[in-house]
Amino acid sequence: MALGETIVWAGMYYTFAALIGQWESDLHWSKSELAIGFTSCLLVSALCSPIVGNFIDKGFGRRIMVGGASAGGLLLLLMSQISHQWQFVSLWALLGIASACCFYDPCFSYLTHTRGTQAKGAITLVTLAAGFAGTVSFPTANALSELYHWRVALVFFAVVILIVAVPLFWWATGNHSANNESVHDRKGYAKDKRAILTHVMGGSIFWLLALCFGLVMLSHGSLVTHFLPMMDERGMDLKVAVLAASLLGPVQVLGRLLMMHLERWLSIVQITAMTILCLVAASVALYVDDNSRELVFVFIVFQGMGIGIFSIVRPLIIAELFGYQGFGAISGMISLFSLVAMAAAPSLAAWLWLINGYSLVISIMLMVAIGAAVVFGLIIIIRRFSVSR
C-alpha cells in the first residue's frame, strides 16, 4: 500500500507542479489557463470524496483503490497525447475521480475501516514511504522532459502506475477483506452512517475542523504548486529550485519520524497544533526572504515537516474528535472542504500572481496559515470547555 501510494502521488499529483513550466513554454498556455486543469482535478476529487468514503465504509475499498489507480494510469497515457486546452482540462477533471479513489483519504479510510484503532501504525508507514513521491516526481519528470519530452514523462508515470501500483493495491487490499466484519463488530459501527454524519455535522467542532483543514491545504497547495515558477521569478537557477522541491519529500519523512518520537509525550491534538505552526513558520520564511537560498531551504524544512506530520494526524485527529463510527463518511465530508481548498489553490495563486506577482501570493498564504492556527486554537478551547462542563 505504501509503495502504491508513493507511485500514484508521484504520477497523478506532483507531475503538475513538476511540468507546469514545460507546458507553459511548449503549449503556450498561461499559468492561469494551466491551473484550470489542476483545479478541476481537485474540485472533482473533492465532490467525489464523501461518496468514496461511504463506499469504503460498505466494504468496497479494494475495488475503489484498484479501479482508481487503473483509471489514473490510463488517463495519464491519454494526457500525453493532448494538443488542446479542453482536452487538458477534461483529462484532469477525470483524474479527479481517479485520485479520489486512490489517494491518502481513501487509503486512510480503508486502513481505519479494516484495522480500527490499529490503523495508526499502518497510516504512519504509508505516509513515511509516500513522502518521497515529490522526490521521485520532480527530478524524474524534469529529466525525462529535458532528455526527451514532457509527453514521454507522462507515459513513463502512466506505465509505472499500471504495471506496479495497480498490482500492489490489489495485493495489499486482499489481505484484510475477511476482517472487515470483525472490526465492525468490535468497534460497534452504526448501521445508519447518515445519522452519525448528521449528528457530527451538528456540532461546531466539525465545521471548525473542516475550515482549519481547508485553510491548511489552501496555503500548502498554492505555495507548492507554484514553487518552481515562484523561484524562477526570484532568479533562482532551475536545478537548484528542482533540488529544493525534491527535498520536500525527505523532509516530510523526517517530520513523520519526529512525530513517532514526540507522540510518547504529546497528544494528537498537541501534535496537530505543532504542525500548523510549522506551516506558519514556513510562510514567514518565504515572506521575509531577500532572495537568499538559505531561507528557501528553511521554507522547505518547515513546510515539509508540517505537511508531512499533518498527513498522518489528519485521520487521527478526526478519529480522536469524532470516534470510529462512520469514519469513512465523516472523513470524506471533511476531505470535501480540504480538497475544494486545494482545488482553488492553483487558480487563486495564479490570479494573485497576475495582480502583483508571487510576493502577493506569499503574503496572502501567510495570512491563510495564521488563520488555520487561530481556528485550531478555537477547536482546542471549545473541546476543553465541553469536557470541563
Question: For residue 15, how far is the Cα from the chain centroid?
Answer: 13
Query: For residue 388, is pLDDT > 60?
Result: no
* pLDDT on residue 162: 95
Q: What is the pLDDT of residues 150-190, one digit of tens each?
A: 899 999 999 999 999 999 999 988 865 434 444 444 444 44
* pLDDT on residue 291: 64
Give yes or no for a contact between 334 and 181, defined as CB atoms under 8 angstroms apart. Answer: no
Query: How do the domains of the chain map onto residue ranges?
Result: 2-175+192-388
Of 68-77, 276-285, 312-321, the range with the lowest mean pLDDT is 312-321
Mean pLDDT over the full length of the chain: 83
Higher pLDDT: 40 or 335? It is 40
Distance CA 279, CA 177 (A): 37
Q: What is the pLDDT of residues 27-48, one digit of tens each?
A: 888 877 887 888 888 888 878 8
What lies within 8 Å, CB to CB, of 250 at 6+ separation is 131, 132, 135, 304
pLDDT tier, 73 (very low <50, low <70, confident <90, very high otherwise): very high
Count helices and strands in the chain by DSSP H and E runs: 19, 0
pLDDT tier, 194 (very low <50, low <70, confident <90, very high otherwise): low
Higher pLDDT: 85 or 183? It is 85
The torsion of the CA quartet 42, 32, 233, 345, rounded to 10 degrees, works out to: -30
- SS3 call for 5: helix
CA-based max dimension of the chain = 65
Tell which CATH architecture fits domain 2-175+192-388: Up-down Bundle (1.20)
**Between the ranges 138-142, 165-169, 270-274, where is the mean pLDDT highest?**
165-169
**Between the ranges 152-161, 202-211, 226-235, where is the mean pLDDT highest?**
152-161
> Could you tell me what percent of the chain has a pLDDT over 70?
91
Higher pLDDT: 334 or 166? It is 166
Mean pLDDT of 266-294: 85
Q: Is 59 left (phi over 0), alpha (psi -120 to 50) or beta?
A: left
* pLDDT on residue 208: 92
* pLDDT on residue 90: 92
How crowded is residue 232: how many other Cβ atoms within 10 Å of its Cβ?
15
pLDDT tier, 215 (very low <50, low <70, confident <90, very high otherwise): very high
Residue with cell 489542476: 38
Give yes or no for a contact between 329 and 57, defined as CB atoms under 8 angstroms apart. Answer: yes
* pLDDT on residue 364: 93
Mean pLDDT of 215-243: 85
* pLDDT on residue 180: 45
* pLDDT on residue 155: 94
Query: For residue 365, is pLDDT > 90?
Result: yes
